[in-house]
């Protein structure tokens, strides 16, 4: 009997907030607010899962600055509010929060909030929630290459992997909601041998029970990593 695959690192592209709101005759901001609630639900579920160690969420991409200015400003305020409100939830569920991406473009206030939450939760061990903020994989790889060179090193697979924003650990499974089937410049290096799952469910409607079903399918997949 085949041994089930073990899911340690899960990545999610949280897509569909705007579509969810439009379908209900609501403003896009309402979709983002509901999507933030799902972040809490899915993170809490993962913190109790027996094998998941890391949950990496695509929260704001380098391309999202192209959205209307008012929507971007709302997203920045929502992120700040979410992080401050979430500290008790992080602590109650033993979750460590880490941010990846180039957050230098964010306001000083938001950067301070991110640093505060990272510091407060740094010793939590049940789960690491990684929020990809102003993140783009191409940008990450370019910055990693420059980091290796600036430190006088030689660019190798090992040195580049260690210089990335994310911990040097491959991602086992990627889930993207809202029916879209593309990576959108997300974790291109880390997803090299990941198992991909796409669902028509919009992110605000995505629940732990659906994630549980996807994990069950992941456990049964044949993973060869280039071998036979």
Average pLDDT over residues 17-37: 96
Asked, for residue 4, whether it belongs to a domain, the answer is no
pLDDT tens figures, 100-130: 999 999 999 999 999 999 999 999 999 999 9
Residue appearing with tokens 């929260």: 59
- Per the model's pLDDT, the better-predicted residue between 42 and 225 turns out to be 42
pLDDT of residue 169: 74
Asked, for residue 157, whether it belongs to a domain, the answer is no
pLDDT of residue 63: 93
pLDDT of residue 225: 61
Active site residues: 15, 64
pLDDT of residue 131: 97
Question: What is the number of other CB atoms lying within 10 angstroms of the CB of residue 25?
Answer: 7
Q: Which two tokens stand for residue 225?
A: 């990593």
pLDDT of residue 222: 79
Asked, for residue 162, whether it belongs to a domain, the answer is no
Chain CA centroid to CA 184, Å: 13
pLDDT of residue 55: 97
pLDDT tens figures, 55-66: 999 999 999 999
Q: Which two tokens stand for residue 184?
A: 């959108």
Considering only CA atoms, which of 210, 171, 200 is closest in space to residue 11?
171
Q: Which two tokens stand for residue 34?
A: 């509901």
Nearest 5°: the CA angle 51, 52, 58 is 165
Percentage, residues of the chain above pLDDT 70? 96
Asked, for residue 151, whether it belongs to a domain, the answer is no
Residue 31's domain is classified under what CATH number? 3.40.1180.10
Asked, for residue 150, whether it belongs to a domain, the answer is no
Partners of residue 97 on adjacent β-strands: 129
Domain that holds residue 128: 9-136+170-220
Percentage, residues of the chain above pLDDT 90? 91
Asked, for residue 76, whether it belongs to a domain, the answer is yes
The mean predicted confidence, pLDDT, of the chain is: 94
Is the pLDDT assigned to residue 228 strictly greater than 60?
no
Asked, for residue 164, whether it belongs to a domain, the answer is no
Distance, in Å, from the CA atom of 53 to the CA atom of 51, rounded to the nearest integer, reads 6
- Are 58 and 12 a contacting pair, CB within 8 Å? yes
Rg from Cα positions in the chain: 18
pLDDT tens figures, 75-96: 999 999 999 999 999 999 999 9
How many distinct structural domains can be found in the chain? 1
pLDDT tens figures, 152-199: 999 999 999 999 998 657 899 999 999 999 999 999 999 998 999 999
Would you call 57 helix, strand, or coil by DSSP?
Answer: strand
Asked, for residue 203, whether it belongs to a domain, the answer is yes
Give the distance between the most distant pair of CA atoms in the chain.
55
Distance, in Å, from the CA atom of 227 to the CA atom of 45, rounded to the nearest integer, reads 33
Look at strands 173-176 and 195-198 and give their pairing: parallel
């Amino acid at each position: 009997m085949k041994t089930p695959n073990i899911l340690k690192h899960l990545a999610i592209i949280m897509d569909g907030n705007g579509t969810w709101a439009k379908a209900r005759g609501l403003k896009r901001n309402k979709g983002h607010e509901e999507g933030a609630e799902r972040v809490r639900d899915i993170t809490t579920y993962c913190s109790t899962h027996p094998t998941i160690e890391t949950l990496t969420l695509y929260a704001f991409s380098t391309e999202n600055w192209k959205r209307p200015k008012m929507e971007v400003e709302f997203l920045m305020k929502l992120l700040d509010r979410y992080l401050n409100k979430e500290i008790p939830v992080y602590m109650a569920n033993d979750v460590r929060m880490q941010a990846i991406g180039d957050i230098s473009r964010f306001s000083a206030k938001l950067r301070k909030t991110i640093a505060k939450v990272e510091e407060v939760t740094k010793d939590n061990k049940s789960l690491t929630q990684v929020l990809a903020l102003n993140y783009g994989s191409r940008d990450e790889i370019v910055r990693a290459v420059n980091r290796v060179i600036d430190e006088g090193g030689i660019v190798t697979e090992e040195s580049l992997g260690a210089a990335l924003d994310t911990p040097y650990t491959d991602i086992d499974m990627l889930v993207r909601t809202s029916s879209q089937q593309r990576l959108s410049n997300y974790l291109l290096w880390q997803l090299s041998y990941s198992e991909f799952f796409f669902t028509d469910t919009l992110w605000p409607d995505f629940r732990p029970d659906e994630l549980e079903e996807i994990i069950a399918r992941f456990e049964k997949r044949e993973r060869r990593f280039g071998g036979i």
